[in-house]
């Protein structure tokens, strides 16, 4: 588990989501990255039914990542988060009276997983209720867990295939109390995915790009 950066890549002008993804794949192939199977990140949204103490009800996101196949993540909107075994899903069913599943809000990101030396690249298509909304690119630098130590390297690497779409330092790392030198973990990755999902959810997609 290294430092991970997730970013959203805009769909190229005059191209569909799939075409843009293919373009990225091609670039990675040219770079010499090797395809290593596929990946999937999904996110379910829950509403808290009971309004405790008059507070505004928060949303709870339950996420899974094939990279950590035995774990399940639960993130409160802007609040605490937890890592759990996959049995947590069953627990959520039991907690139906407190958390209600928002059916239409399920987001998924599927795609291929590439390895380029120490880098792990995942190019995925984000789909919401069976419509492709956008493209996410995850880059992980496996040997290092301290973002501050390897961010520049990652940035340089991303430039090689994302050209102008290189993201800024993810805010998850920047907002940590320890700063850039706190070790990154799986939660950071999931937070970044959630950010991308939320961004894409609000985004108005031009009809032509939806497949």
Partner 1 sequence: MSGGPAVKISIESVCEKQVQEVALDGTETYVPPLSMSQNLSKLAQRIDFNQGSDSEEVDGEGEFRDREWSKQEQEEEDGTVKFQPSLWPWDSVRNNLRSALTEMCVLYDVLSVVKEKKYMALDPVSQDQTGKTPQVFQLISKKKSLATAGQLLLKGAEKLSKSVAENQENRRQRDFNSELLRLRSQWKLRKVGDKILGDLSYRSAGSLFPHHGTFEVIKNTDIDLDKKIPEDYCPLDVQIPSDLEGSAYIKVSIQKQAHDIGDLGTFNLFRRPSKNRGGTQAWHMKLEAAQNVLFCKEIFAQLSREAVQIKSQIPHIVVKNQIISQLFPGLQLSISLCHSTTEKKHQRVSPEKPKPDDCLYVLEHNLHQMMREFHKQQLSSVVMPHPASAPFGHKRLRLAGSLAYDKTEISNLQHSEGLLEKIIKQAKHIFLRSRTARTIDSLASRIEDPQIQAHWSNINDVYESSVKVLITSQGYEQICKSIQLQLNIGVEQIRVVHRDGRVITLSHQEQELQDFLLSQMSQHQVHAVQQLAKVMGWHVLSFSNHVGLGQVESIGNASAITVASPNGENAISVRNGPESGCKVLIQFPRSQSKELPKNDIIQDAKWSHLRGPSKEVQWSKMEGRNFVYKMELLMAAMTPCP
The total of other beta-carbon atoms located within 10 Å of residue 124's CB is 24
Say whether residue 74 binds partner 1 (CB under 8 A): no
Minimum distance between the CB of residue 193 and partner 1, rounded to whole angstroms? 13
The stretch near partner 1 (CB under 8 A) out of 8-16, 70-78, 98-106, 126-134 is 70-78
Which residues, 33 to 52, sit near partner 1 by CB under 8 A?
none
Instruction: With CB under 8 A as the rule, give the number of residues binding partner 1.
Output: 18
Residues in the chain, overall count: 211
Gyration radius of the chain's alpha carbons: 17
Count of helix runs (H) and strand runs (E) in the chain:
5, 8
- E-assigned strand segments in 49-98: 59-65, 71-76, 81-85
> Applying CB under 8 A, which of residues 30, 38, 86, 159 lies at the interface with partner 1?
86
Binding mask 123-162 for partner 1 (x = CB under 8 A): -------------------x--------------------
Q: CA–CA separation, 23 vs 17, rounded Å?
A: 10
**Is 9 in contact with 27 (CB distance < 8 Å)?**
no
Say whether residue 57 binds partner 1 (CB under 8 A): no
Say whether residue 22 binds partner 1 (CB under 8 A): no
Cβ proximity to partner 1: between 63 and 150 the closer is: 63
Say whether residue 68 binds partner 1 (CB under 8 A): yes
> Applying CB under 8 A, which of residues 145, 146, 186, 205 lies at the interface with partner 1?
186
Residues 187, 122, 41, 167, CA torsion sign: positive
Cβ proximity to partner 1: between 84 and 205 the closer is: 84
- Best CA proximity match to 35, nearest among 125, 105, 121, 157: 121
> Applying CB under 8 A, which of residues 3, 33, 62, 72 lies at the interface with partner 1?
72
**Is 121 in contact with 139 (CB distance < 8 Å)?**
yes
> Applying CB under 8 A, which of residues 83, 98, 106, 199 lies at the interface with partner 1?
83
- Best CA proximity match to 29, nearest among 40, 39, 21: 21
Which residues of this protein are in contact with partner 1, per CB under 8 A? 1, 66-73, 83-87, 142, 185-187
């Amino acid at each position: 588990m290294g430092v991970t950066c997730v970013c959203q890549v805009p769909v190229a002008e005059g191209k569909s989501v799939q075409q843009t993804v293919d373009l990225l794949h091609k670039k990675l192939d040219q770079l010499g990255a090797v395809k290593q199977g596929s990946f999937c990140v999904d996110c379910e949204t829950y509403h808290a039914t009971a309004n405790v103490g008059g507070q505004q009800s928060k949303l709870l996101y339950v996420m899974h990542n094939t990279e950590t196949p035995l774990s399940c993540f639960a993130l409160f909107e802007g609040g605490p988060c937890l890592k759990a075994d996959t049995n947590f899903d069953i627990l959520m069913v039991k907690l139906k009276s407190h958390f209600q599943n928002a059916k239409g809000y399920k987001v998924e990101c599927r795609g291929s997983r590439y390895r380029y030396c120490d880098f792990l690249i995942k190019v995925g298509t984000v789909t919401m209720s069976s419509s492709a909304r956008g493209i996410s690119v995850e880059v992980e630098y496996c040997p290092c867990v301290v973002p501050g130590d390897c961010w520049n390297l990652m940035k340089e690497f991303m430039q090689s295939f994302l050209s102008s779409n290189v993201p800024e330092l993810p805010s998850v790392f920047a907002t940590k109390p320890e700063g850039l030198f706190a070790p990154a973990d799986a939660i950071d990755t999931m937070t970044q995915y959630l950010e991308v999902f939320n961004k894409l959810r609000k985004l108005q997609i031009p009809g032509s790009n939806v497949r």
